[in-house]
Amino acid sequence: MSRKELRQKAKTIAKEHEYLPYMIERYLSLWGEEATMQFIEACEQPIRTSIRMNPLRAEPEKVIERLKKKGVKLEKIPWLVHGYYADFEGHSTPGAFLEHMLGYYYVQGVPSMTTVEVLDPQPEETVFDLAAAPGGKTTHIAQQMQNSGKVIAIEMDRRRIASLESNILRCGVTNAIVLRGDAKKVEKLGLKPDKILLDAPCSGEGLIPLDPTRKSSKSMADIRFCATREDELLDAAVNILAPGGTIVYSTCSIAPEENEYIVDDILKRHPELKVAPIPLEFGIPGYSEPFGVHLDESLKMAKRFLPHLHGAEGFFICKMIKEGST
């Protein structure tokens, strides 16, 4: 298909499905027409609700039993230790359950739970969560660490800090320090964390199934703006990571410009940084040649969630190790 034909086709599909043409044009280039149509169709379907059990507050087996008694249907998510698809049909919202108020579980998307599982924080480590609100990943990190060591949760947005604090308190997290400030200036803390999670603020292009307004709310310039910020945040994070440490970079965007391009750039600037394999069975490999642009081959070890392939919001997860000994 010629460039002109591709543009014309994108324009037609975009008009019919209320997307901006530039988005469809990029999907066609990345995936071809059939997968693009599958993507569009999948974005019209609701995403299954999922929850994470919180052993800091209650034994997961007992919570599962309680929820089942209340008519909640649970299905284990294969690659997640405490993750379950949860069907609350016939009930009010999952947040209104007593078990939720008690912090026994956290309502969280599957890709978000997966990022922390990939990071694999261990007890007694120092872990940074660089864009922490509303706290799903911070509380997950703390539960993996069994409330030992410390989680430094950084959030820039004053309004979002309230939800971060509230979730930390509800979930019984006692090893967190919450800081409001610019994560790009994180070196001022003078710490060398063992692990860093950067779930970067992004254009949210993967969230179309949850927010249909995203089909037409962001321009290519917005994606470029986000990409610049993501690059700066990742650079700051890599600079403070302890030698031998692990960083997980993730976004809820499906745009290669916010994902593989960012990691490719950081790998060039930081030769000590290597993409590491993710030993969990989920998603598809990251792209090493999106839009015909040749990127670092190791990006195939990153993982992607796509709505039409995984029934989840679009997501990118890349695990990297900083060479050297701790």
Partner 1 sequence: MKPELLDPIEWESIIDTIDREFGQGVTKKLLGKLTPMALVEGNWRNIYLIPTSWMNLLIEEAPSGFDYHLAGKQLGVMTKDRFRLSLQILPELAQMTTKILTVSRQGAESFTYGRSILKESVVYLDFNLKRNQRVLVMDEEFHCLGIASLATDANRLSRLKSDDLVGKNLVDIGWFIRRLG
Helix (H, G, I), strand (E, B) or coil at 167: helix
Burial of 61 (0-12, 13-18, 19+ CB in 10 A): exposed
Residue 161 CB, nearest approach to partner 1 (Å): 5
Residue 281 CB, nearest approach to partner 1 (Å): 34
Whichever of 26 and 100 has its CB closer to partner 1, that residue is 100
Is-contact 68 55, C-beta < 8 A? no
Residue 160 CB, nearest approach to partner 1 (Å): 10
Tokens of 32: 């071809």
- Within 13 Å, how many C-alpha atoms sit on residue 37's CB side? 6
For residues 229 and 130, give the distance between their C-alpha atoms in angstroms, rounded to a whole number.
13
Which residues of the chain form contacts with partner 1 (CB under 8 A)? 57, 95-96, 98, 100-103, 150, 154, 161-170, 172, 174-182, 185, 188-191
Q: Check 43, 171, 202, 252 and give the catalytic one.
A: 252
For residues 70 and 105, give the distance between their C-alpha atoms in angstroms, rounded to a whole number.
15
Q: Which residue, 259, 54, 233, is CA-closest to 145?
A: 54
- Within 13 Å, how many C-alpha atoms sit on residue 105's CB side? 30
Residue 129 CB, nearest approach to partner 1 (Å): 13
For residues 275 and 262, give the distance between their C-alpha atoms in angstroms, rounded to a whole number.
13
Torsional sign, CA 266, 151, 64, 104: negative
**Size of the chain in residues:** 326
Burial of 184 (0-12, 13-18, 19+ CB in 10 A): middle
Q: Mutual orientation of helices 3-17 and 21-31 as an angle, nearest 10°?
A: 120
Tokens of 93: 């919202």
* Residue 320 β-bridge partners: 247, 275
Whichever of 145 and 263 has its CB closer to partner 1, that residue is 145
Whichever of 188 and 294 has its CB closer to partner 1, that residue is 188
Residue 186 CB, nearest approach to partner 1 (Å): 9
Residue 145 CB, nearest approach to partner 1 (Å): 13
Residue partners of 37: CB distance under 8 A and separation at least 6: 13
Is-contact 166 215, C-beta < 8 A? no
Per the annotation, the verdict on 252 as an active-site residue is yes
Residue 238 CB, nearest approach to partner 1 (Å): 19
Tokens of 284: 């598809």
Q: Please give the positions annotated as active site.
A: 252
